């Protein structure tokens, strides 16, 4: 069980639903999951990437909080994967070891079972990014088109573990400027797009949705939306839109 200090630090890192003093925000994330769950069960989607048009719109915060409430409050068997190769952050958010993770499983340096870790609540498992060997890091750095989602191994991993979990949440990298977002959208069942209120230009958002493919976009989360409710974590309020296909 996480200590009080650890939970307080996790809250500071953006996992607000671990803070019992913010019931309104927790309820909003529960409502968000309930809406996504309803859509996903109808469409048979369980591997869901959460992304944004650009950096800093709150995708990792949304992923982390959704993973916790879906596991803790809805009893779902949940895996959260750090899929942001250039800016991995789940290990820091959840205060877990990052010696081995996704990149190590892909490179067949370890098994999925030895890399996955327990989360702070029951039913929640974590697969961090891990740490690559020096030779592989140099290879990735010098290859402009190198992208972890272009690896065949990640498809094998998702295929292998999808029957072990009710939901697999992927903290995906921002869509722009990726060389090919289709490699991610093809690997997952659905995508939730996080949009920061008043920041993301409409043209950028339109380009992002086009790059994903409308058939994969489950909906969008309007983050940092203003509300009349006065809470300490008011900046995490959101509105949710579902895209009908």
Domain that holds residue 214: 4-242
Residue pLDDT, tens place only, 81-104: 999 888 899 999 999 999 999 999
Q: What pLDDT sits at residue 71?
A: 98
Q: In which region does residue 207 sit, left (phi positive, over 0), alpha (psi from -120 to 50) or beta (all else)? A: alpha
What is the rounded CA–CA span in Å between residue 164 and residue 131? Answer: 25
Pairing outcome for strands 238-242 and 217-223: antiparallel
Contact 127, 114 (CB under 8 A): no
Using DSSP's 3-state secondary structure scheme, residue 240 falls into: strand
Stretches in the chain below the pLDDT threshold 70: 1-13, 21, 53-57, 133-147, 176-182, 197-201, 204-205, 208, 211, 213-214, 224-245
Could you give the CA distance from residue 73 to residue 30 in angstroms, rounded to a whole number? 8
List the end-to-end C-alpha distance of the chain, in Å, as a whole number.
Answer: 42
Which CATH number does the domain housing residue 102 bear?
A: 3.40.50.300
Q: With contact defined as beta carbons under 8 Å apart, do 84 and 171 qualify?
A: yes
Q: Judge contact between 240 and 32, C-beta under 8 A.
A: yes
pTM (2 d.p.): 0.82
* Counted domains in the chain: 1
Any residues with CB less than 8 A from the CB of 84 and at least 6 apart, and which?
60, 129, 171, 172, 173
Nearest by Cα to 81 from 48, 123, 122: 48
């Amino acid at each position: 069980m996480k200590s009080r200090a650890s939970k307080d630090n996790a809250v500071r890192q953006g996992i607000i639903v671990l803070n019992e003093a913010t019931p309104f925000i927790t309820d909003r994330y529960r409502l968000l999951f309930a809406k996504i769950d309803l859509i996903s069960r109808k469409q048979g989607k369980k591997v869901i990437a959460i992304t944004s048009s650009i950096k800093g719109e709150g995708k990792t915060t949304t992923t982390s909080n959704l993973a916790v409430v879906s596991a803790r409050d809805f009893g779902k068997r949940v895996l959260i994967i750090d899929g942001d190769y250039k800016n991995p952050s789940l290990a820091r958010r959840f205060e877990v070891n990052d010696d081995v993770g996704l990149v190590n499983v892909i490179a067949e340096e370890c098994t999925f079972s030895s890399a996955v870790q327990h989360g702070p609540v029951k039913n929640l498992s974590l697969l961090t990014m891990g740490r690559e060997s020096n030779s592989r890091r140099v290879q990735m750095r010098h290859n402009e088109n190198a992208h972890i989602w272009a690896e065949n191994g990640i498809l094998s991993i998702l295929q292998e573990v999808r029957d072990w979990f009710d939901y697999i949440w992927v903290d995906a990298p921002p869509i722009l400027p990726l060389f090919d977002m289709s490699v991610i959208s093809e690997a997952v069942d659905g995508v939730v797009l996080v949009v920061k209120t008043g920041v993301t230009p409409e043209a950028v958002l339109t380009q992002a949705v086009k790059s994903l493919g409308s058939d994969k976009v489950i909906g969008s989360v309007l983050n940092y939306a203003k509300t009349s409710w006065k809470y300490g974590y008011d900046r995490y309020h959101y509105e949710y839109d579902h895209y009908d296909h």
